[in-house]
Amino acid sequence: MSLAFKQETFRDDYTFRNSPEAIRRFPFPFPEDQYMYSVNIEPHTPGPKGAVTEFTLDVDEHYVAECRDKAITLEQDPGRCASLPHMMDAEWDFLEFSMESLARDYPEQFSLSKNGKAWTWVNRPLGLEQSFVFGDAATLPMGPFEYMGRQVQGDFVLLDQREDTLFADAGIVTSQADWSLAFNVGMSWHEWHGPVPQVTKLGVMDRALKFLMSLQQGNPVRRLNWTMTINPRLDTSPENYPLWGGDRNKVTEQNAGELAHLRVELQTLFRMPRSNAIVFSIRCYLISMQEMATYPRWAKRFHRVLRDLHPDLVEYKGITKYQQAVVAWLSRFDDGADIGTGT
Ligand code: HEM
C-alpha cells in the first residue's frame, strides 16, 4: 500500500474514494453466499504484504483525512472519548502499544525514541513532535489514551477484566455503526451486546466472552464484522442520527451504486501488560457498490448475501429501507452460477 495520503471528506460533500489499490486490499468479509453471526475469531497473525492485516495496526491512504474527521467529531462532542478513573494504567499501556507498533511498522512516518522515561514521539503525516515523561500525564497535551487514540485510524475501547466478565471502561469512538460510547461506557459484555438479535440462541456471546477472558499477551486475535452505510460517513452515531438517518430514504435502484457502501470493521483484540486490560480496536473500511463491482465476483457474492439476509439482521443493521434498491442494483452482476467458497 503506497502511503500517499489523500485529501478527502467523510461528511458534507463526501469526497472520500478508494484508489484501485485500496479496493484490491479491501477486507471483503463473505466467504460464502449466506451470512449469519458466528464466533469468527482468529489469531491476528501478520497477513500477506499489502493486506490490511500485514501489520498490527493498519495505516492506509485515508490516514490523514480520517484523523482530521475524528478531530472534528471530538471537537463537536468531547464525550466521544471517555475513560473511567481506574483506567489510567490501561491508558499508558495503550499509548505504549500504539506508539511502538506504528514506529516499528511505519518507520518513515512515525518514530519513538526513549531515554529512560523521557520519550519523544514524532508523527510526520500529522506534523506532530512531542517529548513527554512516560507515566506523567501532565507532560502530554491531553490524557495518554486520547492523545494516541486521535492518531490511529478507527475506534478503540479499553476493556477491564473483573467479576468474570469484561467492562467497557474507556473508549474513543468516532466512527461507529450506530452505537453510543456515552451510553455503553461502564457496561459489561452481556449488557452492551444486549440489543444484538439471534446471538443468545446461537451461543455466540457466551463462547466469545469465554475465549477473550483467557486472551494472552502477545497472542492478539481478530474478527470481521460488517454493516452498510449511505454515503461514506464515518460518524454514524446515534447522537448525530438527524445528520445521516434520513439518507437511508434517498437510495434508489439508479443511485445505489454511488450512495450505498459496504462498511467492514476489522476488529482486533490485544492483552495489555501492566493493566491486564484488553485493547479492542474497531477499524472501519468503506467501499461503494460501484467500487465493489470492479470485482464482479464480490458484487455477485454480496448480491446473494444481501438478498437472503435474515430479516432480524436486516432490521438490526438498519438496512430495511434500501435493501431492495441495492439488491436490484447488484442483480446485474449475478448470473446465478456457483462461485464456490472463499473471498
Ligand atoms: C455488536 C459480536 C466483541 C461491542 C455486535 C454484533 C455482533 C457482535 C455479532 C452485531 C453486529 C452487527 O450486526 O452489525 C462480537 C463478538 C466479539 C465482540 C463475536 C468477540 C470478539 C466486542 C467487544 C466490544 C463489542 C470487545 C467492546 C465494546 C459491541 C457493540 C455492539 C456490538 C457496542 C453494538 C451493540 C448495539 O446494538 O448497541 N458484536 N462482539 N463487541 N458489539 Fe460486539
ipTM: 0.94
Give the separation between CA 9 and CA 4, rounded to whole angstroms: 16
- pLDDT band of residue 200 (cuts 50, 70, 90) is confident
Average pLDDT over residues 80-105: 98
326 lines ligand 1 (CB under 6 A): no
The best mutation among 193, 281, 312 to test binding of ligand 1, ranked by most ligand atoms within 8 Å of the C-beta, falls on: 193
Q: What is the residue with the minimal CA distance to atom 31 of ligand 1?
A: 193
Cell 453466499 -> residue: 33
223 lines ligand 1 (CB under 6 A): yes
Domain ranges of the chain: 20-333
Contact between residue 143 and residue 95 where contact means Cβ atoms under 8 Å apart = no
**pLDDT score recorded for residue 201:** 86
Give the separation between CA 36 and CA 26, rounded to whole angstroms: 20
Average pLDDT over residues 54-70: 98
Average pLDDT over residues 194-206: 91
Average pLDDT over residues 44-71: 98
Contact between residue 21 and residue 330 where contact means Cβ atoms under 8 Å apart = no
Does position 258 have pLDDT exceeding 70, yes or no? yes
Nearest atom in ligand 1 to the alpha carbon of residue 199 is 9
Q: What is the residue with the minimal CA distance to atom 26 of ligand 1?
A: 280
Does position 1 have pLDDT exceeding 80, yes or no? no
Among the listed residues 223, 248, 297, 307, the single catalytic one is 223
**pLDDT score recorded for residue 327:** 98
The percentage of the chain sitting over the pLDDT mark of 90, rounded to a whole number, equals 97
97 lines ligand 1 (CB under 6 A): no
Among 12-21, 25-34, 192-201, 283-292, name the one with the lowest average pLDDT: 192-201
**pLDDT score recorded for residue 240:** 97
Average pLDDT over residues 215-222: 98
Query: Tens digit of pLDDT for each residue in 221-251?
Result: 999 999 999 999 999 999 999 999 999 999 9
- pLDDT band of residue 129 (cuts 50, 70, 90) is very high
Give the separation between CA 217 and CA 286, rounded to whole angstroms: 30
The best mutation among 37, 87, 196, 305 to test binding of ligand 1, ranked by most ligand atoms within 8 Å of the C-beta, falls on: 196
Ligand 1 center to 5 CA (angstroms) = 30
Contact between residue 60 and residue 22 where contact means Cβ atoms under 8 Å apart = yes
Q: Is 103 exposed, middle or buried (0-12, 13-18, 19+ CB in 10 A)?
A: middle
Nearest atom in ligand 1 to the alpha carbon of residue 280 is 26
Averaged pLDDT score across all residues of the chain: 97
41 lines ligand 1 (CB under 6 A): yes
Helices 296-307 and 323-330: crossing angle, nearest 10°?
A: 140
Average pLDDT over residues 10-21: 98
Q: Is 303 helix (H, G, I), strand (E, B) or coil?
A: helix
Does position 2 have pLDDT exceeding 80, yes or no? no
Q: What is the residue with the minimal CA distance to atom 41 of ligand 1?
A: 193
Q: Of 150, 131, 129, which Cα lies nearest the Cα of 69?
A: 150
Ligand 1 center to 189 CA (angstroms) = 9
Residues near 219 by beta carbon (within 8 Å), at least 6 away in sequence: 43, 271
Q: Is 339 exposed, middle or buried (0-12, 13-18, 19+ CB in 10 A)?
A: middle
- pLDDT band of residue 343 (cuts 50, 70, 90) is confident
271 a catalytic residue:
no
**pLDDT score recorded for residue 154:** 98
How far is the first Cα of the chain from the last one, in angstroms, to the nearest whole number? 20
Give the separation between CA 64 and CA 332, rounded to whole angstroms: 36
**pLDDT score recorded for residue 224:** 98
Average pLDDT over residues 301-307: 98
157 lines ligand 1 (CB under 6 A): yes
